[in-house]
Amino acid sequence: MSLKHAMKACFGIGLVSLLTACSQGNGFSDLDQFMAETRAKPRGFVEPLPEFKSYEAFTYSAADRRAPFEPPVDVQLTMMDEEPISDIEPDLDRPKEVLENFGLKELTMVGTLNREAGEDSGSGSGNLFALIRDNTGGIHRVRTGNYMGQNYGRIIGVNETRVELIEIVPNGRGGWVERPRSLTLDGEAEG
């Protein structure tokens, strides 16, 4: 063996001896004592999770009644058995027009049509027609004086954005009353 190998071997044996001598000391005695005390203590107990009852749905059945936290409202009847004062009533002998078979919610204004003064014998706003679409897809041309809707609605005015009409509806006391309504170009029935 060469001297170099012999020195490496001696150095390795010395290092192993030194490490063995260091590891036999009581440097970990405090740690060993702590571990022994911890193992000697009684172990904890974790309680099981509580059992929850399943959710039962509740359907509120009194939604159509008065709210329980609002005071009752006194209703005083003011209607008397009077004869109807108004002489307004629909003309039931008049033949119905096509658009009277539809409610106003089923009708939509889709545009206007303006006839030139030379084509029509009338003049002014009588030349402006409104184009109305029914819920079946048909397009109808109407102007002032025509009827539409199921409440005897007579058209009283047509302009580029709306159709104004007056409906005749029951007043609840055996008579009739006039109600203004309008149909706009964006399709909303107002009134």
Q: pLDDT by residue (tens digit) across 114-131?
A: 876 555 444 445 689 999
Residue 126 burial (10 A CB sphere; 0-12, 13-18, 19+): middle
Which sequence spans correspond to the domains of the chain? 98-116+125-184
Please answer whether residues 181 and 153 qualify as being in contact, where contact means their C-beta atoms are separated by less than 8 angstroms.
yes
Kindly indicate the confidence band of residue 55, based on its pLDDT and cuts at 50, 70 and 90: confident
What are the pLDDT digits (tens) for 169-181?
988 878 889 999 9
Q: CA 152, CA 154: separation in Å to the nearest integer?
A: 6
pLDDT for the residue 24: 59
- State both tokens at 129: 């027609």
State percent of the chain over pLDDT 70. 81
pLDDT for the residue 122: 46
What are the pLDDT digits (tens) for 40-50?
888 888 888 88
Beta-ladder partners of 181: 165
pLDDT for the residue 120: 47
Average pLDDT over residues 17-25: 67
Residue of 105, 125, 127, 114 whose CA lies nearest to 181: 105
Does 61 have pLDDT greater than 50? yes
CATH number for 98-116+125-184 (one of 3.30.365.10, 2.30.30.830, 1.10.10.10, 3.30.450.20): it is 2.30.30.830
Kindly indicate the confidence band of residue 31, based on its pLDDT and cuts at 50, 70 and 90: confident
